[in-house]
Amino acid sequence: MIKNVHSLVLMNDAENKGVYRRMPVQIVGAAHTPPQPYLVPVQMEQLLANYEEQAGQRHTLEAVADFHLRFEGIHPFIDGNGRTGRLLLNLELMKAGLLPVNVKYADRRRYYDCFDDFHAGSGTADMLTAMIAEYEREELARYIAMVKAAGENAPE
């Protein structure tokens, strides 16, 4: 499924869509270096096994935030990792009955700080969990406002 989502993200790049990277990468400004390409398939398998275990033991927001941070740390594809990761995050939120979230451009520094905190700081997903929870509250308030407005404008 992850490779399928990535194929959609990179639909115009036939050579790389849905294919784990075959070369080392460095994320500019990041406090973490992704694993060598030969480790990517193994780490992705471990990521999925860990997520499956965590999903049954932790709140969805915590499990999804942890998965997202680890996925981005592996950086399994040559391009499109962020877009793929955010689509996967929203897919998992919706599967759990939650609303999809949009990481706002204005919040990009805060979003990137979550990765630095996770990989070079606390080792927990607490910062990203809080950010996603905040977005969930905002989206829910927006939906409630739309429902109220629709009710006020409904014909009698």
Instruction: Report the pLDDT value the prediction gives residue 155, as an integer from 0 to 100.
Output: 78
Instruction: Report the pLDDT value the prediction gives residue 30, as an integer from 0 to 100.
Output: 77
Cα separation of 55 and 106, whole Å? 30
The structure tokens listed for 146 are: 């739309």
Give pTM, 2 decimals: 0.91
User: Which residues make Cβ contacts (< 8 Å) with residue 62, sequence separation at least 6?
Assistant: 54, 125, 129
Cα separation of 32 and 73, whole Å? 7
Q: Which of 6, 68, 75, 119 is catalytic?
A: 75
Cα separation of 63 and 18, whole Å? 24
Instruction: Report the pLDDT value the prediction gives residue 97, as an integer from 0 to 100.
Output: 96
Instruction: Report the pLDDT value the prediction gives residue 120, as an integer from 0 to 100.
Output: 87
| Percentage helix, strand, coil for the chain under 3-state DSSP, each rounded to 5 | 65, 0, 35
Domain total in the chain: 1
The structure tokens listed for 115 are: 């990765």
Q: What is the CATH number of the domain that holds 77?
A: 1.10.3290.10
Instruction: Report the pLDDT value the prediction gives residue 28, as an integer from 0 to 100.
Output: 79
Indicate the SS3 state at residue 16: coil
pLDDT in tens, the chain (156 residues): 999 999 999 999 999 999 999 999 988 777 789 999 999 999 999 999 999 999 889 999 999 999 999 999 999 999 999 999 999 999 999 999 999 999 999 999 999 999 999 998 888 999 999 999 999 999 999 999 999 998 887 777
68 is a catalytic site residue: no
Phi-psi region of 123 (alpha: psi -120 to 50; beta: other; left: phi over 0): left
> Domain limits at 49?
2-152
The structure tokens listed for 88 are: 């996967």
**Cβ–Cβ under 8 Å, residues 132 and 64:** yes
